[in-house]
Structures are given as structure tokens and as C-alpha cells.
Amino acid sequence: MTALRNLFSGREVLYFLLLAVLLVVVLPLALDAFRLNLTGKYLTFAFVALGLVLCWGYGGVLSLGQGVFFGLGGYCMAMFLKLEASDMASTARQTTPGIPDFMDWNQVTELPWFWEPFHSLTFTLLAVLVVPAVFAFVIGFAMFKRRVGGVYFAIITQAIATILTILIIGQQGYTGGANGMTDLRTLLGWDIRTDDAKQILYFLCVFLLLLCLVLAHLILRSKFGRILVAMRDREDRVRFSGYDVSGFKIFVFCLAGVFSAIGGAMFTLQVGFMSPSFVGIVPSIEMVIFCAVGGRLSLLGAVYGALIVNLAKTSFSESFPELWLYAMGALFIAVVLAFPNGLAGLYSRYLEPLLDRGWANVRSRAVAVPPAQEKTS
Amino acid sequence: MFADYSAAELTSIFAMQGFAGLSLFSVFVLMALGLAIIFGQMGVINMAHGEFMILGAYVTWLTSGFFSSHLPGLFAAYFPVAILLAFLASALLGGAVEWLLIRHLYKRPLDTLLATWGLSLILQQAYRSIFGAREVGVRMPDWMMGSYAITDMIEVPINGLFVMGISLLTALGVYLLMYRSTWGRKVRAVVQNRPMAGAVGINTQQVDRVTFALGCGIAGIAGSAFTMIGSTGPTAGQLYIVDTFLVVVFGGAQSLLGTIASAFTISQAQSTMEFFLSGSMAKVYTLLVVVGILMVRPQGLFASRIRH
Amino acid sequence: MSITQNTPRRWGRWLALPALALASTLSHAAVPPTSEVNTTGLAVTDTTVKVGILHSITGTMAISETGSVQAEKLAIEQINAAGGVLGRQIEYIQEDGASDWPTFAEKSRKLLINDKVAAVFGCWTSASRKAVLPIFEQYNGMLYYPTFYEGLEQSPNVIYTGQEATQQIIAGIDWVVREKGAESFYLLGSDYIWPRTSNKIARAHIESLGLEVVGEDYYPLGHTQFNSVINRIRLKKPDVIYAIVVGGSNVAFYRQLQAAGFDLTQESPLLLTISVTEDEILGIGGQNIEGAYAAMKYFQSLDNPNNEAFVEAFKERWGDDIVIGDVTQAAYLGPWLWKAAVEKAGSFDIDKIREASPGIELTTAPEGYVRIHENHHLWSKTRVGRAMDNGQYEVVFETDELMEPDPFPEM
């Protein structure tokens, strides 16, 4: 019990439960099917933001290529769904029936070998986790072992995002090109386009997100998390103390990649397609801003950041499309200049002390006048 | 693939191809010089670099419009004026941005990245509101169109020569400023040891502002030159940003010579590969090789040290 | 189907628009009741009907989509001035796709589910259309899509008002072969589905004529360095450069081609494109592309009374310096085709419009005359224009017959 208490402070549990109630109870009750599905889409970006809190906020490693992992996860999922949507009946019109439509248009007459295993859902789910992890490991290993960090790492991840985008668009016979993989319909025969299915997928997404939150929290609370922070602040000292700094960085980068990939897979399921427009630099940097707005040191903040920025984007661009970019740009600048720790920073600096005082007042009064407690509760 | 062609044809093609590589080289140099100063010397990541270039392009467009309607007699000579104005406009905006934004962030390089990204969004939308979403075409004076025919097969584009000339002059100017002037000595002093530079009486804040403005001004020159070969639209600046950063990083961030060497290597590699392979894959391979080399040799081609 | 024969009648009809508007307000009693014309709960009242306009006003695609938005608004305003559709004034809800495909999907959902619009005019890139297509099919909406595109699609929920690839390509290639004696072609394009598919159709057609394709290249979207490919072209000496370069790359490509000593007005090699409308020339600069040929269905300079009236109205509404390209005109057809379908069906119901659409003809189209095919594409003529220094095209050829749309060509 005390071990548990060490891992979760009372307040953290409270905040976590508040978020869970918001996502599981309040939003589904308050929003119609359309808005709930949108929220689900926003939440998939929260996975990426969560990963960024770990690797940027705590590890000090800023990746501007998280879209790569989001895309890898999303594409793995999309490949499975696309194969299922390309059954003999619905592709009878093609020159080669039974392969995805975009392959047929590009004179691909046989399913490429790397598509074959994606007939299996088990393999696909594994691939969603393993492919990005391996990819992140290769990048991380090459870079962190040579102590490339900071700005250099950011720029190289950007270049990788560019390469992957050009590749996906250029190899359209295998990837669907710029159009992406569209018209995904069923998951093991279950129609994912209906309102009911979307609702279930929303809850699945929330569940996975909460799971990732707990996992990330546990990691930060462990010794590993403390080393991470120490490393971010004084890397040389940690190294001199005998720790393998690069190993920790690689791990946290891989973890962030896997989180992003889960988000990508959930995105594909909920939105019904995947396209290279999520892999490039622009979406990758946007994902960083979700994390920065929420607060780069706050796991819960990342979730709120993703929700709030996207909500603002949707409603702003509905009413003042031309002002949206100004607002977004100003947000970037403001978050860097005025409140570097984001909403979470603002909360703990201004709101929390107020609440504390309020809480303390209530408590002291409750102690002094016991009957009052009954009334208030 | 060459079996069908005569030796004369092949020679000319290789000559032309060499020129193509050189003009890509001068484009890279122009793009990267401004950034090399800002990133290499100051450690600031200016993601809005492309937008400063586009500002230069729009200024050129405005100037050409002004000359053709008010001074049609002098239209042939408008370009140098346009370049000067482009430099001034971008440098002024750069100075203002430094004062408003960048100077608060010198200790947080990754944050300059985010802030200048925000700035680039704002600038893009501003261009769109002011100049319209459509691309604008800058009209060239007649003497800058066409090519010199050296032989039947070898033709040298005049605008390509012009861009080369501009980048040569700019590079020379930057070299003189940085290594042969008092001001350049101050900049280098500030880069190497800020507190000491301040202690010996250098106004470090002013040096920072002028350096940043200079880098942006060079971006403006680049943008002005690029109206001859590329498009001018609100979002055109983003096309250049990754290439530009890679050139600077690949060269070794703090070395101007490295930047030029890296621009040369990358441009020759890309243009040769484009000749032999299809365009998309040539780009992929070039980037892969650059990233690959950076992974093995993170300090770039020429570097004294890297900062984490 | 001769154009001149029909001209006076159409011209008269155009002039009669204001009179019609007056007539329809007077004869309000003739308006059919909403319960009859709208059985599926669309946003139709006794006096109004809501439609959606869904294009990018921000982001990289805003450059291209601005013209379409303007054309659709103009058509809607003109229809309203003429009394609306089934006595109802059209109200539009405009959404921004922000050059982002999921946003297109999201906004089309909003338009169909929340706003219950009776039709949507929108999308530009294939990627955006592919993103919204499943949604239109799922919620049974009707999309009027204006861009010339690669084909390989035929949805019951889309009316394609631009040309599909074969319409654009075959007539153009036949023309250069017949008139210019072209025998070898170099195919070039931006690297995505439309240029690749179009070049595939072009290659198949060229080879079926017994002629030769000497090269085929693709460059990433936004690529700005074409000197190497220009050298390859120089080495291969094709009779025709067949270019499907788009967006910002266009400017770079034509400028560098010109600078490398290729004077397009010399026509050796000749340049034929299907991707450069008057809109793109604005950015490229007329002086850089003078002498190139383009094959498409509409040019601003088309000489017919419909087009004169259209260009005049367009300039009056959106400013004198505006240019009108192929897609803009196709976008303008959208609301008119929808109106014709609604009136033929006597209902706003999507299913009835779908049934009524094939066979609908528009004699007032700026491009002359169009008719909706069973496959939801338009029968239309293809023209070849020669680019001039002033940024306009001079029409040098027009097919005698309407080209039949064939979105799934045998290759």
C-alpha cells in the first residue's frame, strides 16, 4: 500500500480521475455522435503529445518527426483494413481482383510481399507496436550513441519525416500515394463507419490513452524517470556517475514512437483513412505544439493540450478561417515567451494555490464547526 | 544509356549538367548563408527563414510592378534596386523580430524553433491577406531571359548566371564582413565567449540584433534572386526550409566554409542523381545519404565543436 | 449539335434572368410545398435551401481553390437572382478544408450531418475527394466536383463537372500528331496520382498510334530544380514535351526551360500540357510560357456569347484583373447542373436528383454545351489553346464532337 502511495499521490489520482470522468462520462453524454468522433480524433494526437512529454519534456530530446511514427502506426492499421476492404467481390471490376484499388491503377498485379502478413490482425497489431519501435531504435541508436542532441536531432528527424513523405507519395503503387489509403470499411467484418462503431472506437481510444497515461506516469515515478530528468539538466554528470545516457534516451525515444504509433492506428480506425499528410514536418511540429500548450512537463497537460488546441482549430476555422493561422502562430509564440510550461504551468502557478487556500479554509472550518461539514457534503 | 549518342553530344551534356549542378549550388549557397549566420553563429533556429525569403520575393514583385507602371524606361535595370530593397525589408523585419522575440530566447534554442515556427505561420497568413492566395509571377527584363549559346548544344541560362553572380557576391560580402571587419570580429567574439565579449566593451545585444538582421537580409536577397527560377506564393518558403537546414548542418554549423562545401557536395550529388534516376528517388537518395553521413559524423563536414 | 444555331436562344435566356426573378417572386403560389420536395429532412424551407461550399481557403491549396469558390458563389447568386431553385433561394454554408484531407472529411460530415445541406460544391485535389467520398456515400450526399482529374472513379454521390483524363489527353495528343506531325514524346509530371495516371493513358495512346515515348519522369510536389531533366530532354530530342507539372513547381519548370534556351514559340520541341490553366500562368508569367499548348475544355478566351456573359459577370463580381481557368468554369457549372437536376426531378431528394441527373444538359454553359453522362461525368468538347504573352490562351482547335467521358479506360 505504501508502495502504491509512493507512486501515486492523492492529488495525482484525483486529477487522473477527473480526466477519466471527463472523457468517459461527461463528453459522451454532452456531445453528439459527430462531435464525439471529432474528440476521438483529437485524442489520437494526445498519444503523440504524451510521448513528447516523455522524450522532450523529461528527456530533453525534441523530435520534429513524430509524424513518422504516427504515420507508421496508422499505415500498418490502414494496410490491414485496406486488404479487408479489397475482397474479391468489391474489386471484381479491377484487372487484378483482390488487391487494393490503388495497386490496380498502378499496374501492380500481385500483392507485394510486405503486404502479405497484413492479412492477419494479430500481425498488424504487433506491427503497429514493433515497426515504429524498431525504426525509433535505429535512429536513436545511431544518433544518441554519438551524442547528437538538441537542435541537430530536431533537424535530422525533420529530414527523416521529409524522406518518408516523398517515399510514400512516390511509391504510390505500394502505398496509395498522396491520396493515402482511403475507403476503409470493416474490421474483421465489423463496419467501423457506423455511429455505434465510432462510439465504441472512441471508448477504446480513451481506454488506451488512459493506459498509456498510467504507464508513462509509472515510468516517470520510477528511478528511470529521475535519471531522465537528471540527464536533461546535467547530462555529463549523469554520464560520469556511470549511467549509459544514450541507452535511456533511446528507450524514451522508442517509447514516444510507440505511443505515437498507437495514436496513428486509432486515428486510422476512427477517421477511416490514412494519408502522407500526417507524416511530414508540418503535422509533426503541430503535434509538438499540442504538447507545449498543455505543458511539456505534464502528462495530463498533454491530453488537455491536444484537446484544446484542436477544439480551437475546429471552431476557429469554422467561424474565421482566415484568422486561424494568426491565432495558431500567436499561440506558438505565446506559449514559448509567456508560459513555457503551458497550461499545466499556469494551473500550478495560479489556480492551484487558490484552490489550496480554498480547500484549507473549508477544512479548517470543517474542523471548527463539525456540523457544517454535513451540510456541505 | 549513352550508347546512342555521339561523343560531342555527350560532352555538351556533361558540360550542361555541370552547369546545372553549379546553379543548384548557388541556390543552396544563397539559401544557406543567411541561416548559417543565424544558426551557426547565434545558435538560433529560424524556422521562418523561408518566409523571410518570400518577403524578398514579394518586394521584388512590387518593385517590378512599380517600375513597369511608373518608370518603364528603367525597367531593364530594376533588378538591382529590387535586390537592395529586398535586403532592407527582410533585414528590418529581422531586426524587429529579434527585438520582439528572439532576444528573449537565446538560452533556449529549441524554443526559438517553436516561436519562429509560429512566426512563419503568421507571416504566411499575412502574405495571403496582403498579396492574395494566388502565386504571383515576377516579370523579368528581356535581357535576363533566354540563354547564351556557346555551341550548338551548350546553352548557358542567363538567369542562372545571374543567380550565380549574386550568390558569389553575397558570399564574398559575408566573408569580408565576418572575417575582415571590426564588426565581424565582434560577432565572433560574442559567439566564442559572450560574457568576456561583454566585459571588454562589446555591446552584445546590438551585435545580436545586427547579426540576426543580416541573416534575414541575406534571406531576402535569396528570395529576390529566386523569383527568377521559382514561384512566389504565401507558402513557397516552406519548400526550402528542410534543404536549407540540412545544408547548414551538413557543413558543420559554425563554419561558413563548411556551409559552402556542403552546398557544393549536396548540389552536385542531387543534380547528378537527378540526371540518372527519376526525380523523386534522386531526392530521397540525396537526403538519405546526407542523413546517413550526419548519423556517422554528426559534427558535419567542417566543425570545431558541437553544442548540445 | 452546332453552337451557332443555339446561340440566340441562349443569349435571350441569359438576358431574361432578371425578368424571371421578378416573375418568380410574383408567382409565389406556384412554389411546391416543402413536404413534397424534401422527404429526407434536408435543410429546405418554404423559401430557402441550404447548400455547402467546401474548399481550402487557407493552406497551400488556397492558391488553386480560390477561383472555384468565386465561381460557385457567382453561380449561386445568379440562380438566386433568377428566382432560385423550385422557388427557394439558395443559402450557402462555406467551410474551409484548409488544404488538409481529414479536415475536408470532417467538414463534409458537418455539412451533411449537422447542416443537412442539399448539395455540396467542393474539393479540388483528388486526395480531398477521396477523403470525403466514403462520407458522401455513407450519408447519401451529393458532391459537385470541379477539377479535371485522373478518372478511375464513378460514385453515385458525385457529379464530376471537370474532365476525366481520357477526355483531356486523347484529343490533345491526336491534335499534335495530326497537325504538328509529332512522333516522339517526353512525359513529365509531378509525383502523384493524377500526373502518373494521365501519363499512363497518354503513353498507351501514343504507343497505340505507333509512336514513341522517349522518356518519363516524376518530381516531388514543390520541386524547384529542373535543370537535370531539361538536360535529359535535350539529349533525347523529343518532338513533344508532355508536361503535367503542378503548383509551385510549374513556375520553376517553365522559367528554367525558357532560360535553358528552349523557346517554346519555336515549337521544337513543342510543349503540350494539361495542367496549366490561366490561373497557373499568373504565377508562371506569360512571357515564360508563351507558345506552349494546353489541352482542356475551357479557356477564358473562348469566343461564344455564353462565355462573354460569364466572363463579364465574373469580372463585375470579383474584380477586373481576375483570370478564369478551366476548373473555375467547371465549378461554375456545379450549381447550375444541380438546379437543373432538382427542377427535372421536382425534388431536392438526393436519390431523385441522382436519377434525374444523367441526360441533363446545360446550353448556357460558358464552355458551350454540356450533358451529364450515365457515369456522372460530363460530355464536353476538348480544346487546344496556345499560351500567349498576356497570360491568355488563343484557342487553336476544338473537337467537332463532344468527347465521351470514360473514367475506366482499357489499358
Q: Tens of pLDDT along B72-107? A: 888 888 889 999 999 999 999 999 999 999 988 888
Residues of B in contact with A167 (CB under 8 A): 284
Q: Which chains touch A (3 or more CB pairs under 8 A)?
A: B, C
Of A134 and B286, the structure prediction assigns the larger pLDDT to: A134
Locate the chain C residue with the closest alpha carbon to B281. Answer: C219
Question: Mean pLDDT, to the nearest integer, of B264-272?
Answer: 87
Among candidates B139, B153, B283 on the partner chain, residue whose Cβ is nearest the Cβ of C285: B139
Residue C140: pLDDT over 80: yes
| Interface size, chain A vs chain C, as Cβ–Cβ contacts under 8 Å | 94
Res C36 pLDDT > 60? yes
Q: Which of B111, B283, B290 is the closest to A340 by Cβ?
A: B111
pLDDT in tens, A248-259: 889 999 999 999
**Mean pLDDT estimate for chain B:** 85
Mean pLDDT of the B52-68 span: 93
Alpha-carbon span C50 to C118, nearest angstrom? 6
- What distance in Å separates residue A249's CA from the closest CA in chain C? 33
Mean local confidence (pLDDT), B107-128:
88
More confident residue, A322 or A345: A345
If you average pLDDT over residues A122-151, what whole number do you get? Answer: 89
- CB atoms B235 and C59 under 8 Å: yes
Q: Are C228 and B275 in contact (CB under 8 A)?
A: yes
Read off the pLDDT band of A126 (50, 70, 90): very high
Instruction: Work out the pLDDT band at C59, boundaries 50, 70, 90.
Output: confident
Mind listing the pLDDT tens digit for each residue in A185-227? 888 889 888 889 999 999 999 999 999 999 999 998 888 888 8
From chain C, pick out residues whose CB is under 8 angstroms from the CB of A101.
Answer: 152
Cβ-Cβ contacts under 8 Å, A160 against chain B: 291
CB contact under 8 A, A150 and B281: no
Position C285 confidence tier, pLDDT thresholds 50, 70, 90: confident
C192 close contact with A: CB closer than 8 A: yes
Please report whether residue C185 resides in a domain.
yes
pLDDT of B256 reads 81
Of residues B63 and B241, more confidently modeled: B63
What rounded mean pLDDT belongs to chain A? 86
Which chains would you list as touching C if contact means 3+ CB atom pairs under 8 Å? A, B
Percent composition of chain A: helix, strand, coil (DSSP 3-state, to 5): 80, 0, 20
pLDDT exceeds cutoff 90 at A355: no
DSSP string for A188-257: TTEETTSHHHHHHHHHHHHHHHHHHHHHHHHHHHSHHHHHHHHHHH-HHHHHHTT--HHHHHHHHHHHHH
**C284 and C390 inside one domain:** yes
Q: Nearest C-alpha of chain B: how many angstroms from C390?
A: 11
Burial of residue C28, with CB atoms counted within 10 A of its CB: 0-12 exposed, 13-18 middle, 19 or more buried: exposed
- Which chain C positions have a beta carbon within 8 Å of B24's beta carbon? 225, 227
CA distance B157 to chain C (A): 5
Q: Is residue C411 part of a domain?
A: no
| Contact check, Cβ <8 Å, C218/B278 | yes
Count the neighbouring beta carbons within 10 Å of the beta carbon of residue B184. Answer: 17
Decide which of A262 and A172 is more confident: A262
Q: Does some domain include residue C65? A: yes
- The count of other CB atoms within 10 Å of the CB of residue A224 is 14
Nearest Cα of chain A lies from the Cα of B297 at a distance, in angstroms, of 8
Q: Which of A327-336, A366-375, B154-163 has the lowest mean pLDDT?
A: A366-375
Helix axes of B7-35 and B204-226: crossing angle, nearest 10 degrees:
150
| CATH code for the domain of C155 | 3.40.50.2300
From A147, A166, A340, residue closest to B284, measured CB to CB: A166
C288-309: average pLDDT: 94
Distance (Å) from the alpha carbon of C105 to chain A's nearest alpha carbon: 8
Q: Is there a single domain that holds both residue C237 and residue C145? A: no
Domain boundaries, position C179: 165-296+385-398
What chain C residue is nearest to A191 in terms of C-alpha separation?
A: C138
CB contacts, 8 Å: C232 with chain B: 275
β-bridge pairing C293-296 and C270-273: parallel
Query: Is residue B135 within 8 Å of residue C251, measured between CB atoms?
Result: yes
Question: Residue C222 falls within a domain, yes or no?
Answer: yes
Q: Is A231 left (phi over 0), alpha (psi -120 to 50) or beta?
A: alpha
Distance CA A255, CA B284 (A): 27
Contact at CB, A281 and B242, closer than 8 angstroms:
yes
d(Cα A282, Cα C98) in Å, to the nearest integer? 13
pTM over 0.90: no
In a domain, C409, yes or no: no
Residues C89, C99, single domain; the answer is yes
Taking contacts as CB-CB distances below 8 angstroms, the residues of chain B near C60 are: 235
- A95: closest CA of chain C, how far (Å): 9
* pLDDT 10s digits, C240-268: 999 999 877 888 899 888 888 888 999 88
Q: Are residues C389 and C354 in the same domain?
A: no
Q: What is the mean pLDDT of residues A153-182?
A: 88
Grid coordinates in use for A52? 513528447
Say if residue C247 is in the same domain as residue C204.
yes
Using CB atoms and an 8 Å cut-off, which of residues 239-268 of chain B contact chain C?
Answer: 239
Report the C-alpha gap between B31 and A235 in whole angstroms.
34
Domain count, chain C: 2
B183-197 average pLDDT score = 85
Whole-angstrom distance, CA of residue A370 vs CA of residue C134: 62
Q: Is A322 in Cβ contact with B129 (below 8 Å)?
A: yes
Q: Any bridge partners for residue C295, and if so which?
A: C384
- Ranked by mean pLDDT, the top range of A283-287, B236-240, C205-209 is C205-209
C-alpha distance from A207 to closest chain B C-alpha (Å): 31
pLDDT at res. C28:
47
Shortest Cα–Cα distance, C389 to chain B (Å) = 11
**In chain A, which residues touch C (CB < 8 A)?**
33-34, 37-38, 41, 93, 101-102, 105-107, 166, 169-170, 172, 177-180, 182-183, 185, 193, 271-273, 275, 277, 314, 317-318, 321-322, 324-325
Q: Say if residue C158 is in the same domain as residue C33.
A: yes
Q: Write down the mean pLDDT value for chain C.
A: 88
C352 in the same domain as C394: no
* Contact status of C58 with chain A (Cβ, < 8 Å): yes
* C105-127 pLDDT tens trace: 989 999 999 999 999 999 998 88
Chains A and B: how many Cβ contacts under 8 Å? Answer: 125
Do A272 and C152 lie within an 8 Å CB cutoff?
no
Question: Is C256 in the same domain as C218?
Answer: yes
Q: Each residue of A35-85: pLDDT tens digit?
A: 898 899 999 999 999 999 999 988 888 899 999 999 999 999 999 999 998
Q: Is B204 exposed, middle or buried (0-12, 13-18, 19+ CB in 10 A)?
A: middle
The arithmetic mean of pLDDT across residues A122-139, rounded, is 95
User: Would you state the pLDDT for residue C325?
Assistant: 93
Q: Would you call B290 and A329 a contact, using CB atoms and an 8 Å cutoff?
A: no
CB within 8 Å: A152 and B298: yes
DSSP class per residue in B132-145: -SS-B-PPPPGGGS
Question: Are A271 and C105 inside 8 Å of each other by CB?
Answer: yes
Instruction: Give the span between the Cα atoms of C411 and C403, in whole angstroms.
Output: 18
| Residue the block writes with cell 504566411 | B124
Q: A332 and B284 in contact by Cβ < 8 A?
A: no
Beta carbons of C255 and B228 less than 8 Å apart: yes
Instruction: Output the pLDDT for position C16.
Output: 44
Q: What is the structure's pLDDT at B271?
A: 84
Peptide bond into B141 cis (omega under 30): no
Q: Using a CB-CB distance cutoff of 8 angstroms, which residues of chain B are in contact with residue A335?
A: 114
Provide the grid cell at A33: 455522435
State whether A272 and C110 contact (CB < 8 Å). Answer: no
Tell me if chain A has a CB within 8 Å of the CB of B242.
yes
Name the more confident of B305 and B49: B49
Contact flag B16-C234 (C-beta cutoff 8 Å): yes
pLDDT of residue C94: 92
Nearest to A34 among C95, C114, C220 (CB): C114
Tell me whether residues C229 and B279 touch, CB distance under 8 A: yes
| Averaged pLDDT, C349-354 | 95
pLDDT at A375 over 80: no
Q: How confident is the model at residue A349 (pLDDT cuts 50, 70, 90)?
A: confident
CB burial class (10 A; 0-12, 13-18, 19+) of residue C400? exposed
Instruction: Tell me whether 0.90 is exceeded by the ipTM.
Output: no
